């Protein structure tokens, strides 16, 4: 298998190591050794040594959520996410992607989203049309919100409406490339989607990115892939926190006790941990889960639920268990994908988005 020398070095080091064995959200949910970074490295090393074919390990390669908990915990600096994404890219180049992944990739290329959706809900469509005029500020909703959680996307626009901010929402919002990057890594198709969005973003002065996954891609991956963005990119959480500080969004604390589910894209990748907490503390009483900020545990996502739904349910249930273990009855999220995952399995635990909290819903 063609792989960078750097990734080969990381593979050969990780396959002997147990350092991150305890922190993989998928491995903890399944209880299976195959879902650890070490086991994944072992499989890739066997392919590199031509002991097995690449196609034999592909199901395992796509069981990694690329949350980076293993990278964060590794004191020796090894990066399982890097060699996992390289393996996915090589599988795409060799035509060895599993059929269920190829379907998602084809959807991304044909419709701009892995779900193959072309229409969103009626109320969000109306809100988008109401904000179709060109302003200096763009609210980028992202495909998960637009097509799989349109009520939350609508609430994101409603929060900004409360502040009097003039903003644009695109009717035909280009894909960020983040889904293709997850599925096939740094392929030409991935970079082209990113470049197309960058061209659109550069027509605006400020871009408020609702989905932390898109924010991570635009603020980090685009630079790594040589894609220039001249617009000022801010996360939705930091933008809203700023509006509260400026007094543009009136906040009333309800006294409700909540804990916050840190999205790893914000906390680990973008090192943004306090802005969401500022928002929450304006509306509720904030407690903390034992694993928070950069130590956060991923709570599932919409994309992986398309091909491993039962495991994603287990991941979300474990995160709810983490919250209830400290007595929490309400979890607040800043990731639309984690919101959907947690909401799908929550029974007695209340799941709220930041927008729910702000709008009093």
Enumerate the domain spans of the chain. Answer: 5-97, 122-241, 252-359
Average pLDDT (231-255) is: 95
pLDDT tens readout for residues 184-232:
999 999 999 999 999 999 999 999 999 999 999 999 999 999 999 999 9
Rg from Cα positions in the chain: 20
pLDDT band at 178 (very low <50, low <70, confident <90, very high): very high
Helix spans in the chain (H) = 5-14, 25-30, 37-48, 58-61, 69-73, 80-93, 99-111, 122-130, 143, 150-163, 178-184, 188-201, 212-216, 222-224, 236-245, 264, 275-283, 309-324, 336-345, 354-359
With a CB cutoff of 8 Å and minimum separation 6, the contacts of 8 are: 48, 83
**122-241 CATH fold:** Rossmann fold (3.40.50)
3-class secondary structure, 286: strand
pLDDT tens readout for residues 66-77:
999 988 887 777
Residue 20's pLDDT is 76
Q: Which residues of 50-67 are buried (b: 16+ CB within 10 A; e: fewer)?
A: eeeebeebbebbbbbbbb
Asked if 233 and 218 count as a contact pair (C-beta separation under 8 A), the reply is yes
Minimal CA–CA distance to 41: which of 60, 22, 25? 60
Asked if 187 and 89 count as a contact pair (C-beta separation under 8 A), the reply is yes
- Interhelix angle for 236-245 vs 275-283, to 10°? 50
Cα–Cα distance between 1 and 342 in angstroms, integer?
A: 37
For domain 252-359, the CATH architecture is 3-Layer(aba) Sandwich (3.40)
pLDDT tens readout for residues 145-173:
999 999 999 999 999 999 999 999 999 99
Residue 75's pLDDT is 77
pLDDT top residue among 45 and 238: 238
Tokens of 158: 């409603």
pLDDT of 18 > 80? The answer is no
pLDDT tens readout for residues 267-281:
999 999 999 999 999
- What is the distance of C-alpha 11 from the center of its chain? 25
Residue 148's pLDDT is 97
Residue 329's pLDDT is 97
pLDDT tens readout for residues 283-299:
999 999 989 999 999 99
Residue 9's pLDDT is 78
pLDDT of 36 > 90? The answer is no
Q: What is the largest CA-CA distance in the chain?
A: 63
């Amino acid at each position: 298998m063609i792989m960078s020398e750097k990734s080969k070095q990381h593979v050969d080091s990780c396959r002997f190591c147990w350092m991150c064995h305890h922190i993989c959200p998928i491995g903890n949910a399944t209880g299976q050794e195959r879902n650890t970074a070490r086991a994944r490295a072992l499989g890739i090393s066997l392919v590199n040594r031509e002991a097995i074919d690449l196609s034999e390990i592909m199901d395992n390669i796509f069981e990694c959520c690329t949350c980076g908990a293993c990278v964060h915990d590794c004191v020796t600096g090894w990066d399982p996410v890097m060699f996992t994404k390289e393996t996915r890219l090589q599988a795409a180049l060799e035509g060895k992607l599993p059929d269920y992944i190829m379907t998602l990739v084809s959807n991304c290329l044909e419709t701009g989203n892995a779900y193959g959706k072309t229409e969103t809900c009626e109320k969000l469509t109306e809100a988008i049309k109401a904000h179709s005029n060109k302003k200096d500020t763009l609210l980028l909703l992202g495909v998960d919100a637009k097509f799989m959680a349109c009520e939350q996307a609508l609430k994101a626009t409603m929060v900004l409406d409360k502040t009097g901010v003039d903003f644009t929402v695109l009717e035909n919002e280009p894909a960020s490339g983040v889904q293709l990057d997850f599925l096939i890594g740094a392929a030409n198709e991935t970079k082209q989607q990113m470049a197309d969005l960058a061209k659109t973003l550069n027509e605006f002065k400020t871009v408020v990115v609702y989905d932390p996954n898109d924010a991570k891609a635009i603020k980090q991956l685009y630079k790594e892939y040589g894609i220039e963005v001249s617009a000022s990119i801010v996360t939705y959480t930091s933008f809203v926190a700023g509006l509260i500080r400026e007094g543009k969004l009136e906040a009333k604390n309800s006294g409700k006790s909540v804990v916050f589910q840190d999205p790893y894209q914000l906390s680990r990748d973008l090192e943004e941990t306090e802005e969401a907490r500022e928002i929450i503390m304006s509306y509720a009483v904030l407690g903390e889960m034992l694993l928070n900020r950069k130590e956060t545990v991923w709570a599932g996502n919409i994309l992986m639920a398309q091909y491993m739904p039962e495991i994603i349910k287990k991941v979300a249930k474990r995160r709810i268990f983490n919250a209830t273990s400290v007595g929490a009855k309400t979890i607040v999220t800043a990731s639309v994908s984690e919101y959907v995952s947690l909401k799908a399995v929550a029974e007695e635990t209340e799941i709220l988005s930041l927008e729910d909290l702000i709008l009093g819903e």
